[in-house]
Structure 1
């Protein structure tokens, strides 16, 4: 009898945010156990709600959005996005340079499929958001991971980037603000990355979906604003800042000098047309959403929910013997270090799985973000402080006696 296996193209692809540990959590839930999920950036289960004006805007447009839109998206949505780009000093972005998507994930995959031939290389941060590595791999490319330095606020290691550029390198991916570390890159780091791209004739891919979730009075700098002479593809959306993850409302913008990328843009247009268009009702709320940016800011100020949850979990983690963490400046993630010698940890996936089984709390192991050593894990701090307190106390209790068996 003939059997069917998964494609060999998936051999080096992982998405452990929803991977084997999540599968175990789902089995426990099906058995009637209550699991606290600190593994995924999904605001809705933790009581976050989208702004009323945004929901009202979409509901009022439902009867007008029953058909397909232009493959790039509604002109009203793209005009609003173009205005937002101008506010971020992103150069040379017209409505024709903007593509709406069913979340940013779809657009990342589209961009990689349109660019990469077999063996082409793309520099990707480590730790990364794993979809980038997966999309590059499935498109026939090779993800080459450059190190982000925990001792330097998780900023990209520019020397490591330099050493990993070859004649096969086509692009550099920059995730800023960063997932999973919560780092926010300063202008001097971004300028050095731009200069590398300039010297080697590379495309810049800027994953900036957390650009409106920045704390401590800091400001996000759009990568494209520093590179008017290069092609920068910037990705953004409403899933996080407007708490609309389920609506799958994202976009990408082609910024800067597009003169040497006409063939690539033709490929993007073809792939965009093949998927017909993104969710049209979700597109219809983009203009209203981009006129309502203040709600997100309130959550990030002292006294605001995200800010206070960050403060609590940062202090709680640093108080646990054997753990340390760089304080995140943006988004709602942190990437703690765990002393693997103290706890004899050789497998970080087993570490989070053991914690899940004993304490019924779900983290994601660092290896799921292409971090090479088994000494990190990611916490999503969307739950309220009471739930975070339970998680922190549970982790402290768990680690007191934990010694991983090989």
Structure 2
């Protein structure tokens, strides 16, 4: 064999995905026989959560009827119609296109790919889901992070957004409710973002995959409901609200001025046609999910609220750690004071305790701050055990720094 080495594409150099990358270390620690407590991946099915039975039955029936071939590229009609009803419920007007994808992740990647050229940029929330920066690295676009304000319940910092807009900015991304902070954006904040998009001719990408998972009686405002002319793509899916992340079923709802959007919509559909279709039988679960019995959500929110409260109380009781209470999703993003590196802290936590959390640097954060993300999906007994271990570890870690 020659010494020839295949050189990977430059576009892959900056692709990182902290949620999965941390698993490499966790797997090594698990091999030593240590008990592992996983608080790192937002997968309800790993714990005591199940999807609605009518979703599963509809998908199974489709497979039994041999609806196992290709579907139309944009998705089956009954799914599109159900998503259109959901868009109307959310108050989204002037809908121009709807398409079903392999998870919301594919919808996001397709819409970014169809919009952004080399050298252009997209305003991306920080902290935010690392998928967005991974896609932008692949597309070789310029990163343009804007900050969420921890002192204001992790709402987008409007002044920071204003400073970051430049002549090469094409769009602004919102994750609402937010991953990793669990914040739910106010109507006033969203309206300010709409006004900025109007002023600077930006497309708004609204990732609303957690829009039904809200605590304390909070309501979700879809940003597309606030303006019918600004070009927006609203992303949703079955993964989180309906607890089937492995089905990989998501969608995009394009709304706004038709003339402004028509060429962009055709570009999106070119990519949709080229990749054939999303999982066909799983699409038959969309209409029963959106239009059927929603009682699983009430049960889910009671469980999540208890686990959220347990999480926030535990984190805020640890000297040197503070945690803004999340209002939605199933994540908390505690802050660690007086350390140099959350990567070092999280790595040592995994090695010494088996508790797996994700360092805040994997989601982006204000320079000079350190955080970690907790997924509070596990049952209370697992969370209590993990939080006790975190508390004891942090005391020891800080003593060793002295």
Q: Same fold (TM over 0.5)?
A: yes
The bucket for the TM-score relative to the shorter chain is: over 0.9
1:113 positional shift:
1.1
1:405 positional shift:
6.5
Q: Secondary structure at the match of 2:172?
A: strand
Q: Distance in 2 between matches of 1:231 and 1:359?
A: 48
Q: Secondary structure at the match of 2:260?
A: coil
1:247 positional shift:
0.7
1:218 positional shift:
1.0
Residue 360 of structure 2: aligned partner: 366
Residue 136 of structure 1: aligned partner: 136
Q: Distance in 2 between matches of 1:293 and 1:154?
A: 29
Summarize the Cα distance change of 1:119–1:346 in structure 2 as closer, same or farther, 3 Å threshold.
same
Q: Distance in 2 between matches of 1:229 and 1:104?
A: 23
Q: Distance in 2 between matches of 1:398 and 1:193?
A: 41
1:263 positional shift:
2.2
Task: Find 2:394's aligned residue among 391, 396, 399.
Answer: 399
1:7 positional shift:
2.1
Residue 83 of structure 1: aligned partner: 85
Residue 381 of structure 2: aligned partner: 386
Structure 1 ranges of 4+ moved more than 4 A? none
Q: Distance in 1 between matches of 2:271 and 2:43?
A: 28
How many aligned positions are there?
A: 396
Query: Which 10-residue stretch deviates more, 393-402 or 7-16?
Result: 7-16
Q: List aligned pairs for 1:123-272, cutoff 5 A.
A: 123-272=123-272
Q: List aligned pairs for 1:97-136, cutoff 5 A.
A: 97-136=97-136
* Contact persistence 1:121–1:143 (CA under 8 A): yes
Q: Distance in 1 between matches of 2:50 and 2:144?
A: 38
Q: Distance in 1 between matches of 2:251 and 2:117?
A: 24
Q: Aligned pair 1:376/2:371, yes or no? A: yes
Q: Distance in 1 between matches of 2:172 and 2:8?
A: 29
Residue 357 of structure 1: aligned partner: 351
Q: Aligned pair 1:293/2:294, yes or no? A: yes
Q: Secondary structure at the match of 1:25?
A: helix
Q: Aligned pair 1:2/2:7, yes or no? A: no
Q: Distance in 1 between matches of 2:149 and 2:43?
A: 27
Q: Could you give the per-residue CA deviations for residues 67-114 of structure 1, whole angstroms, max 9, x where no partner exists?
A: 1010000000010000000011101226xx111111111111111111
Q: Secondary structure at the match of 1:253?
A: strand
Q: Distance in 1 between matches of 2:295 and 2:195?
A: 34
Q: Distance in 2 between matches of 1:395 and 1:118?
A: 43
Q: Secondary structure at the match of 1:210?
A: coil
Q: List aligned pairs for 1:62-77, cutoff 5 A.
A: 62=63, 63-77=65-79
Which structure 1 segments of 5+ residues have no match?
Answer: none
Q: Aligned pair 1:23/2:44, yes or no? A: no
Residue 307 of structure 2: aligned partner: 309
Which structure 2 segments of 5+ residues have no match?
Answer: none
* Contact persistence 1:206–1:223 (CA under 8 A): yes
* Contact persistence 2:229–2:255 (CA under 8 A): no
Q: Secondary structure at the match of 1:211?
A: coil
* Contact persistence 1:149–1:155 (CA under 8 A): yes
Q: Secondary structure at the match of 1:209?
A: coil
Residue 15 of structure 2: aligned partner: 13
Q: Secondary structure at the match of 2:167?
A: coil
Q: Secondary structure at the match of 2:125?
A: strand
Residue 48 of structure 1: aligned partner: 49
